[in-house]
Amino acid sequence: MSATTQAPPAIDRTGGQKMIEVAGVSRRFAKRLDFAGKILAKLGVPLRDEVVHAVDNVDLVIRKGEVVGLVGESGCGKSTLGRMVAGILPPSDGNILWKGRDRTGMGGKDARAAMLQAQMIFQDPMSSLNPRLKVSEIIGEAPLVHGLTKRSDQARYVDEQMRRAGLDPAFKGRYPHQFSGGQRQRIGIARALAVQPEFLVCDESVAALDVSIQAQILNLFMKLRQELDLTYLFISHDLGVVEHLSDRVVIMYLGRVVEEAATETVFARANHPYTQSLLAAVPRIEARKKAFAVVRGEIPSPLNPPAGCHFHPRCPHAFDRCRAEVPALKEVAPGHRSRCHLNDQPGHGGMPV
Amino acid sequence: MEASIPASAAPPTLQVRNLQTSFFTRAGVVRAVNDVSFNVGRGQVLGLVGESGSGKTVTGFSIMRLVDAPGRITGGQILFGGKDLVTTSEEEMRQIRGNRIAMIFQDPMMTLNPVLRIDTQMIETMQAHRSISKDDARQRARDTLGMVGIPSPDERLKSYPHQFSGGMRQRVAIAIALLHEPELIVADEPTTALDVTIQGQILAEVQKLAATTGTSIVWITHDLSVVAGLADDIAVMYAGRIAEYGAVADVLDHPLHPYTVGLLGSVPSRNRRGEPLRQIPGMTPSLMSLPPGCAFQNRCPRSEEVCRQDPPMAEILPAHEARCFRPHLEKAEVAA
């Protein structure tokens, strides 16, 4: 573990301080046997707790000022990882260091400060905004509680946050349902920014929006990054969005990181067969009457993942070793890590597509 | 790929002429579909593209005659094989719907009954429309499941919808739509909820189908990049009207309407990395309070005095129509 947690120096694009360091983090969700199940198990019926390895031994470093894109299909564990990084879900194993310190070991005041510094923006603002609170209360409550503003100054503070997220402060007396989808997402952003965070986890924050509104929100994210010197973990299934926004891309498949590299590298020289097929499957506007690239098969159930490399049943290059042995996440070029046995094959330099 | 289909000798499978569908709500009349016209030829795929509230789904529902009160088709024609579906009796419509025209919805759980096995549902569908023995129907159901790429169809026939993954469920919904070899399929965002790799698989199947069986498809979506690779023609809808209509290459490579230009500019992959995306300012207007004249004028960088009047749908370039007084006649500035 200690060998993999050391980030290769080439990843250090900004030379910035390590904001988040995820070391060997796993998260399991278990469905325990019910009473009848326990009795049957005692009687020798082969029943066990069902355990999902949502996130399996992930290492990740996010440096100050970086935008890291986290990509994967449904069930790959990207949201679970995002929640752990944001500090709203504890890991089952491993450590998440916030600026070099473990958040679980911090005292009350430090822990609270660290939690405030990392905020999360969700996919569906309707289920993450309290429908019974006015916008001014949604945005203004947390900074007041945490002493970032005084009650006498709260109105002005809320106006400032709303303006920064592109909302008209005149609407602060309204309720979330009176806004359109894009504006609701702006409320979510204003709420996150109101506690002056340094780090934002955006979990599919633009996935539910129309293209023209999505462009507005993405532009807002980029503007805020400049203005407030923010660091982002940007979780998305949309490779186009991630390519546009991120400095570095991390690709997950069934709980494991399969590839990690600078954005240009991933889109120009993807190493892992999964990344390659993902890129090939993305519909492009430039395509005309093309035959759609087809990846065989389905994403396996995380309850019962395939042995060895999780991708081997769908991989066009799979060979015997892939079925037996889990490949390690190895550096294939400076700052470019990939989890594939093919990289150990002699004469196989950087897999051609 | 299209070569197997005889070129436009026969009339188009579907001709929609000046279709108007309105909803008569207590707050007022919402003209969800306002003067929409398009053609879909045999084996052709039309991409009906628009953002939420543009009327693309209501157009699809109108073709199926599935618009419920307070909505009503208030004008125009839907010519399907020469027959006007707008004036067809409900009795006759029942025979056409599901048989000669099928619909695929975004959420396959809307199509599938959760408490019935797949085989029951498929056999029932077939027996509703023609006299066919149960064994023959089962045989046909199995073949169709195989056709849409469901592995071991014999066993899967005995499964319930919840035992399928999202992508597989959508395949079952597509298989049910295909049971009667319909002449037309209306597909309403069928891949929007699916992962990219699964979406790719479904698109490949659909493409193969249109080419081999000659089924015409109206593919409703908000995602321009999906129809770019799939469709023959594109109709871009905005606020209940078609803003631009033409062949895929014409519309995407030389967009005329400023809305299409804006939509294409908003796609992240068409912008330089890290630079601000070219966004369309403002948001889609409410259909209840449209400005007089062009519905896009308040968001349009090219709007002028003349845009306060209603722009007609005009053939600005050969076989390439747009509803705009100030179209981008010069090669529009949309970077690739």
Render pLDDT for A177-202 as a digit per residue (tens, 0 to 9).
Answer: 888 888 899 999 999 999 999 999 99
For the cut 80, the answer to whether the pLDDT of residue A211 exceeds it is yes
Question: From the CB of residue B87, how many other CB atoms can be counted at a distance below 10 Å?
Answer: 9
Residue B331: band (very low, low, confident or very high) from pLDDT cuts 50, 70, 90:
low
Residue B7: band (very low, low, confident or very high) from pLDDT cuts 50, 70, 90:
very low
For the cut 90, the answer to whether the pLDDT of residue A208 exceeds it is no
For the cut 80, the answer to whether the pLDDT of residue B9 exceeds it is no
In Å, how far is B262's CA from the nearest CA of chain A?
8
The distance of Cα A293 from the centroid of its chain, to the nearest Å, equals 26
Percent of chain A with pLDDT over 70: 92
Residue A11: band (very low, low, confident or very high) from pLDDT cuts 50, 70, 90:
very low
Lowest mean pLDDT among B68-77, B88-97, B119-128, B288-297: B288-297
- Provide mean pLDDT across the span B92-116: 90
For the cut 90, the answer to whether the pLDDT of residue A287 exceeds it is no
Contacts of A299 in chain B (CB under 8 A): 165, 195, 197-198
The Cα A341–Cα A330 span in angstroms is 10
Whether chain A has a CB inside 8 Å of the CB on B264: the answer is yes
The partner residue sitting opposite B51, judged by closest CB among A212, A288, A298, is A212
As to burial, measured by CB atoms within 10 angstroms (0-12 exposed, 13-18 middle, 19+ buried), residue A344 is exposed
CB contact under 8 A, A182 and B269: no
- The residue among B195, B223, B227, B257 with the most chain A CBs within 10 A of its CB, best to mutate, is B195
Give the pLDDT confidence of B244-253 residue by residue, as tens digits.
999 999 999 9
CB contact under 8 A, B223 and A283: yes
Angle at B313 between CA B308 and CA B315, to 5 degrees: 130
Contacts of A282 in chain B (CB under 8 A): 196, 225
Structure tokens at A328: 């390690």
CB contact under 8 A, A285 and B225: yes
CB contact under 8 A, A213 and B283: yes
Give me the pLDDT at residue A15, please.
62
Residue B107: band (very low, low, confident or very high) from pLDDT cuts 50, 70, 90:
confident
In the DSSP assignment, the letter for residue A247 is: S
Judge contact between B182 and A264, C-beta under 8 A.
no
Q: Which domains does chain B have, with CATH numbers?
A: 9-100+184-194+216-278+311-336 (3.40.50.300)
By CA distance, what is A72's nearest residue in B? B195
For the cut 80, the answer to whether the pLDDT of residue A6 exceeds it is no
Tell me the CA distances in angstroms from A169 to A89, B90, B229, one per residue in order.
33, 51, 43
A55 sits in which H/E element: strand A50-63
For the cut 70, the answer to whether the pLDDT of residue B73 exceeds it is yes
For the cut 80, the answer to whether the pLDDT of residue B5 exceeds it is no
Question: From the CB of residue B301, how many other CB atoms can be counted at a distance below 10 Å?
Answer: 10
Give me the pLDDT at residue A5, please.
39
CB contact under 8 A, B201 and A263: no
- Provide mean pLDDT across the span A246-263: 94
Judge contact between A233 and A80, C-beta under 8 A.
no
Across chain B, mean pLDDT equals: 88
CB contact under 8 A, A289 and B248: yes
Give me the pLDDT at residue B295, please.
92
- The residue among B266, B284, B288 with the most chain A CBs within 10 A of its CB, best to mutate, is B266
- Provide mean pLDDT across the span B81-93: 92
Using DSSP bridges, classify how beta strands A67-71 and A248-253 pair: parallel, antiparallel or unpaired: parallel
CB contact under 8 A, A277 and B197: yes
Contacts of B263 in chain A (CB under 8 A): 211-212
- Provide mean pLDDT across the span A274-294: 81
The partner residue sitting opposite A237, judged by closest CB among B1, B196, B224, is B196
Judge contact between A305 and A252, C-beta under 8 A.
no
In Å, how far is A278's CA from the nearest CA of chain B?
6
The secondary structure of chain A in percent helix, strand, coil, rounded to multiples of 5, reads 40, 20, 40
For the cut 70, the answer to whether the pLDDT of residue A286 exceeds it is yes
Lowest mean pLDDT among A26-30, A151-155, B330-334: B330-334
CB contact under 8 A, B229 and A243: no
CB contact under 8 A, B1 and A289: yes
Give the pLDDT confidence of A89-100 residue by residue, as tens digits.
999 999 999 988
In Å, how far is B84's CA from the nearest CA of chain A?
31
CB contact under 8 A, A73 and B204: no
Which residues 89-148 of B have a C-beta within 8 angstroms of A? none
Count of CA atoms in the C-beta half-sphere (13 A) of A17: 10
The partner residue sitting opposite A299, judged by closest CB among B195, B224, B276, is B195
The Cα A210–Cα A189 span in angstroms is 17
In Å, how far is B259's CA from the nearest CA of chain A?
10
Give the pLDDT confidence of B113-172 residue by residue, as tens digits.
999 999 999 999 999 888 999 999 999 999 988 888 788 888 889 999 988 888 889 889
CB contact under 8 A, B200 and A73: no
Give the pLDDT confidence of B16-39 residue by residue, as tens digits.
999 999 999 998 899 999 999 999
Give me the pLDDT at residue A47, please.
80
Whether chain A has a CB inside 8 Å of the CB on B62: the answer is no
- Provide mean pLDDT across the span A30-59: 86
For the cut 50, the answer to whether the pLDDT of residue B335 exceeds it is no
Residue A2: band (very low, low, confident or very high) from pLDDT cuts 50, 70, 90:
very low
Which residues 160-189 of B have a C-beta within 8 angstroms of A? 165-168
Q: What are phi and psi of B40, to 5 degrees?
A: -130, 120
Under 8 Å CB pairs connecting chains A and B tally to 142
- Provide mean pLDDT across the span A161-179: 90
For the cut 70, the answer to whether the pLDDT of residue A240 exceeds it is yes
Tell me the CA distances in angstroms from B29 to A218, B71, B309, one per residue in order.
35, 9, 20
Whether chain A has a CB inside 8 Å of the CB on B268: the answer is yes
By CA distance, what is A282's nearest residue in B? B196
- Provide mean pLDDT across the span A15-36: 87
The partner residue sitting opposite A285, judged by closest CB among B166, B167, B267, is B267
- The residue among A76, A212, A227 with the most chain B CBs within 10 A of its CB, best to mutate, is A212
Considering only residues A58 and A124, tell me which one the structure prediction assigns the higher pLDDT: A58
Q: Could you report the predicted ipTM of this complex, rounded to two decimals?
A: 0.79
Whether chain A has a CB inside 8 Å of the CB on B253: the answer is no
Whether chain A has a CB inside 8 Å of the CB on B298: the answer is no
In Å, how far is B155's CA from the nearest CA of chain A?
17
Whether chain A has a CB inside 8 Å of the CB on B211: the answer is no
For the cut 70, the answer to whether the pLDDT of residue A109 exceeds it is yes
Across chain A, mean pLDDT equals: 86
Count of CA atoms in the C-beta half-sphere (13 A) of B39: 14
Instruction: Give the E-state strand segments of A204-297 in sequence order.
Output: 231-236, 248-253, 256-262
Give the pLDDT confidence of B187-213 residue by residue, as tens digits.
998 888 788 888 888 888 888 888 888
Judge contact between B222 and B49, C-beta under 8 A.
yes
Contacts of A238 in chain B (CB under 8 A): 268
Whether chain A has a CB inside 8 Å of the CB on B262: the answer is yes
Give me the pLDDT at residue A43, please.
87
Give me the pLDDT at residue A342, please.
92
In Å, how far is A139's CA from the nearest CA of chain B?
23
Lowest mean pLDDT among A75-84, A98-107, A110-119, B41-50: A98-107
Angle at B116 between CA B114 and CA B120, to 5 degrees: 140
pTM value is: 0.84
Residue A296: band (very low, low, confident or very high) from pLDDT cuts 50, 70, 90:
confident
Structure tokens at B12: 């188009």
- Provide mean pLDDT across the span B287-311: 89
Q: Which domains does chain A have, with CATH numbers?
A: 2-344 (3.40.50.300)
Cβ neighbours for A82, distance < 8 A, ≥ 6 positions apart: A70, A120, A201, A203, A233, A235
The distance of Cα A128 from the centroid of its chain, to the nearest Å, equals 17
Considering only residues A86 and A108, tell me which one the structure prediction assigns the higher pLDDT: A86
CB contact under 8 A, A263 and B273: yes
By CA distance, what is B276's nearest residue in A? A219
